[in-house]
A = this chain, B = another copy of it.
């Protein structure tokens, strides 16, 4: 049984730089907390990797409510990076998720390059397997997305963090609003990123026409879910043709077939976000769906799907 499962698992294995994932499916940052809640639903070691909620140097309060609203085939959120801060994270949160045999990827956000590098160093010391630079959160005013939209400071940031860390894989999460997704992808690659991930949520707004008030207190939030999938697939396609490093695709994945679609477009791995809100088991079901698709199509290795779209 165990043997058979391992064999099956190797079929699904993919690599992000030096990091091996049992399967191509990870959680999307901000949709799996720090792991504890999902662990009530399934064995976290069934995931390719777990990407944690974004963390900053000091605790952040986040935005006022309402923070979420559903839209047609999607949702808008403006959580505003509410998080416990680095110290509490290292003391109280990280040890818990370390109990599982799953690569842990920390998602970090700062208001200056110095904050990013301090976060990255501390997390490397704490032994995380990967660090994802969030330079694309539309929900915080300072920092973050500013790096994602300006090529010069983007380059400088990736370079600074790259210099500081050795062991963890460095993933750069691009902004869907980046002017020229190919250019930003290549810049990340040139500055030493091990992988890029996309897309983050797209700035969006909804108004209740009965009350005439914005449905998100902060007015503008980020759109995620199936509605944005075709935009995300297109950006993954463009990014993956621009670089040689692996691309992690996300945006509206709810089924194994959605994941395969991203992989055919060029993704090496995928992340499941909003779907976890629909069903806590979503990420596992996506992994199972990829396996089923591979069996139907007689494909022996998940990595063979990457970029295998026909003309």
- Chain A interface (Cβ within 8 Å of chain B)? 71-74, 76, 149, 177, 179, 202-207, 209, 211-214, 219-220, 223, 226-231, 233-234, 237, 252, 257, 260-261, 264-265, 293, 308-311
Contacts and interface: CB of A to CB of B under 8 A. Distances in A.
Contacts of A203: 231, 234
Contacts of A219: 237
Max chain B C-beta neighbours (<10 A), residue from A76, A231, A309: A231
Contacts of A231: 202-204, 223
A219 B261 CA distance: 13
A90 B211 CA distance: 47
15 contacts: A74-B227, A74-B230, A76-B230, A177-B179, A203-B234, A204-B231, A204-B234, A206-B229, A209-B260, A209-B261, A211-B310, A213-B309, A213-B311, A220-B237, A227-B230
Which 7 A-B pairs rank lowest in CB-CB distance, beginning with the nearest?
Answer: A204-B230, A179-B179, A73-B73, A227-B227, A205-B234, A72-B226, A72-B73
Contacts of A308: 212
B223 A230 contact: yes
Nearest to A254: B72
Contacts of A73: 72-74, 226-227
Contacts of A227: 72-74, 226-228, 230
Contacts of A228: 227
Nearest to A226: B72
A287 to B, nearest CB: 15
Nearest to A311: B213
Contact of A233 (B207, B234, B293): B207
Contact of A309 (B74, B214, B293): B214
Nearest to A149: B179
A299 to B, nearest CB: 10
B206 A233 contact: yes
A117 to B, nearest CB: 27
A257 B209 contact: yes
Max chain B C-beta neighbours (<10 A), residue from A71, A230, A231, A264: A230
A230 B209 contact: no
A205 B267 CA distance: 14
A30 B205 CA distance: 25
Given A177-B179, A207-B233, A213-B310, 12 more contacts: A71-B230, A73-B227, A179-B179, A203-B234, A204-B231, A205-B237, A206-B229, A206-B261, A207-B261, A213-B309, A226-B227, A227-B227
Given A227-B227, A231-B204, A264 B209 contact: yes
Contacts of A260: 209
Contacts of A230: 71, 74, 76, 204-206, 223, 227
A310 to B, nearest CB: 5
Contacts of A209: 257, 260-261, 264, 293
A46 to B, nearest CB: 22
